[in-house]
Structure 1
Amino acid sequence: MLTSFFSKSKPVIFLAVAFIMAVFYISANFPELINTLDLGVWGTKMGVFVCFILSITVLDFIAKKNDLTKRSAFKIVIFAVFSVSFLAILQNNQVILANLCILLALRRIISLKSRKDIPKKIFDATFWICIASLFYFWAILFLFVVFIGILVHAANYFKNWLIPLVAFCTVVALVTSFHILVYSEFYTWEKWFQEVSFDFSLYQNLQLLIPLSIIIGLGIWTLFYYFGIMQKASVNSRPTYILVLFTLALAILVAIFSPIKDGSELIFLFVPLSLIISNYFEGKKEKIFKEILLIGLVLMPILILFIS
């Protein structure tokens, strides 16, 4: 059974997931690559693909290190399936890079519960989120996750609340220096900011609407199960579950505020959703239903290709 196969985290599963991601990524970008001999374009796409694969590596590490899920492969499978279901994600370098930066930040925020190296972790998390905003401006909203992390894990020291400002100023200084040295000009607000758009007309496309509807439905369904797990969790573990939920809420805001609604903005939802949905699949009840559901999810990106 498919659920039994993915219930364990094995290198062969990771390789299989990475291979599937590679097939879809190459297929999505093949028309662009085949029509150019520019080594810069090829190098950029290869680098972004590496970051795409690194995303599931970091996601798996975060979940295992902080006991967000059991030792299963469901989370990386779900993230991969959701991501390759949207052509716009696979073709958008910026969102893939920004999402990896958010993952690296989330890793540091969640690890605050150890109460070790707190200033460094706060700085690192803020730094990565600011870097993410250079690729995708509205990723800056994830800074609220940093402050929630400080609130639940490190609110005792006032200096901890000032560290995000230091990290933000550090990124500003680095980016400004880079642009002056390379482009002989300042990095301005106009280059950083992306206007909000509430044009959802592209969501009428069935290739976007169908997977989005499935993901929303599954997300709402599994949220109830996740709330149950959170209520049963220990006092020390509960803040971590809250951080995941808060990350999901902010990811929804990022998607709403995104300048272009083509599906690429949804990638930020897939990390928290993969953790939430993974917990549902790891439960012992409804095995037959879960088997059918998982098969449907795995087939989803393939079936979407045949939708005109």
Structure 2
Amino acid sequence: MLANFLNKSKPINFIGLMIFFAVCFLTLNFIDFFNTQLNVNDLLQKIVILLIFISIFFIYNFITSKNNLTYDNSFGFYFFTLLMGCFSTIVDYKMLFFTIIYLLFLRKIYSLQSSKRVLKKLFDAGFWLGILCVFEPKFLLLFLLIYLSAYWHQKITIHTFSVPIIGFLTPVFCYFSYLFWYGNQEILTSMFLKGFSFKMSFFTEEKERIFMMSLLIITFFAAFLKSSKALLINNTFRRSWSLLLINFLVVLSLFFFENDSKNTETLFLVFPISLILANGLELVKKRILIHIFLYLFLFGCSAYLIFL
């Protein structure tokens, strides 16, 4: 039944999954209100966070449908919704803000498969990345995605090379000017000179470590399964798929710098993981296996939330 519902990409699927997320989110966040006195400010904050999540879902759905990153189904959005739900209880405004900027950045680089307004897209991609790097300089590694997308979908020229840099420097220069005006320019320089810490501890708690390791193993298996077919055909999807794999590996490397369940990179990983899983599942011929995997994924995410 679940596979039949998700087999087509229809507005009712999108609405249904959003309602499902909203119900789960409200249940998880408001269950304590039955035992404690209702705090109006906390209630309003939860509602605002829920609305931000919904806007994230709209951006995600636009990116995947506009750029044909999956076939005509809702598997990707299903995985994205469940994974975002798993981390919805530990997010804050900063993480959600970064996630929206990150998705707006991805929207531009994946849309480079179209030849319309290429320079504008490259400038916008650099601009959104510049905003991210103002707060977290380690996101500078995402610059690799801009040039790979330009190389695979268009071609590298002096214009396509320089425009993303100009876009990137625009918010950085504005922020530096603001700090310079108030005599705090050393804040920006100290941020970009800050070192990274590489950890292999993954999550501190065992249940978090098991959940994340299982998710990564399934993702790598799905990536291998899809790549064995997608990379054999020289078409637009092959280039988008290659970009998606690099997207996953780059964000995964950022995750290793500060691997904690409360880090922004955890939410960043949800985008490529959901699409990789969806594309891998599309290759399964037997419907019963698709049903089993979808329900097992739902059960795994639910168990993670229950025992969180």
| TM-score class normalised by the smaller sequence | 0.7 to 0.9
Native 8 Å contact 1:123 1:164 kept in 2: yes
- Match in the other structure for 1:130: 130
Per-residue deviation at 1:48? 4.2
Native 8 Å contact 1:83 1:267 kept in 2: yes
- How far apart are the structure 2 equivalents of 1:141 and 1:277? 24
1:100-111 to 2 correspondences below 5 Å: 100-111=100-111
- Match in the other structure for 1:165: 165
- Match in the other structure for 1:57: 58
Residues 147 and 248 of structure 1, relative CA distance in 2, 3 Å threshold: same
- How far apart are the structure 2 equivalents of 1:28 and 1:163? 45
- How far apart are the structure 2 equivalents of 1:197 and 1:82? 26
Native 8 Å contact 1:98 1:139 kept in 2: no
- Match in the other structure for 1:218: 218
Which TM-score applies when normalising by structure 2?
0.84
Per-residue deviation at 1:43? 6.4
Per-residue deviation at 1:160? 1.5
Native 8 Å contact 2:109 2:146 kept in 1: yes
- Match in the other structure for 1:98: 98
- Match in the other structure for 1:266: 266
Per-residue deviation at 1:297? 0.9
Residues 11 and 193 of structure 1, relative CA distance in 2, 3 Å threshold: farther
Residues 284 and 249 of structure 1, relative CA distance in 2, 3 Å threshold: closer
1:140-289 to 2 correspondences below 5 Å: 140-178=140-178, 185-186=184-185, 188-190=188-190, 195-199=195-199, 201=201, 203-258=203-258, 261-262=260-261, 264=263, 265-289=265-289
1:13-92 to 2 correspondences below 5 Å: 13-26=13-26, 46-86=47-87, 90-92=90-92
Letter in structure 2 aligned against 1:130: G
- How far apart are the structure 2 equivalents of 1:52 and 1:184? 37
Letter in structure 1 aligned against 2:299: L
Residues 190 and 84 of structure 1, relative CA distance in 2, 3 Å threshold: farther
- How far apart are the structure 2 equivalents of 1:202 and 1:249? 16
Letter in structure 1 aligned against 2:260: K
Per-residue deviation at 1:230? 1.4
What is the count of residue pairs matched by the alignment? 304
Residues 45 and 199 of structure 1, relative CA distance in 2, 3 Å threshold: farther
- Match in the other structure for 1:12: 12
Q: Between the two proteins, what is the percent identity of the paired residues?
A: 24
Q: Larger deviation: 269-278 or 13-22?
A: 13-22
Equivalent position SS for 2:203: helix
- How far apart are the structure 2 equivalents of 1:193 and 1:38? 42
Per-residue deviation at 1:125? 0.8
- How far apart are the structure 1 equivalents of 2:305 and 2:49? 22
- How far apart are the structure 1 equivalents of 2:28 and 2:140? 28
Letter in structure 1 aligned against 2:77: I
Q: Larger deviation: 46-55 or 64-73?
A: 46-55
Which TM-score applies when normalising by structure 1?
0.84
**Unpaired stretches in structure 2, ≥5 consecutive residues:** none
Q: Larger deviation: 43-52 or 28-37?
A: 28-37
Deviation string, structure 1 residues 256-307 (Cα, Å, up to 9, x no partner): 123x523533221211121111112223513222211110111222212343
Deviation string, structure 1 residues 20-54 (Cα, Å, up to 9, x no partner): 33344445655999899695x77665554333222
Equivalent position SS for 2:197: coil
Residues 146 and 38 of structure 1, relative CA distance in 2, 3 Å threshold: farther
Give the superposed CA RMSD. 3.1
Letter in structure 1 aligned against 2:17: V
Residues 45 and 237 of structure 1, relative CA distance in 2, 3 Å threshold: same
**Unpaired stretches in structure 1, ≥5 consecutive residues:** none
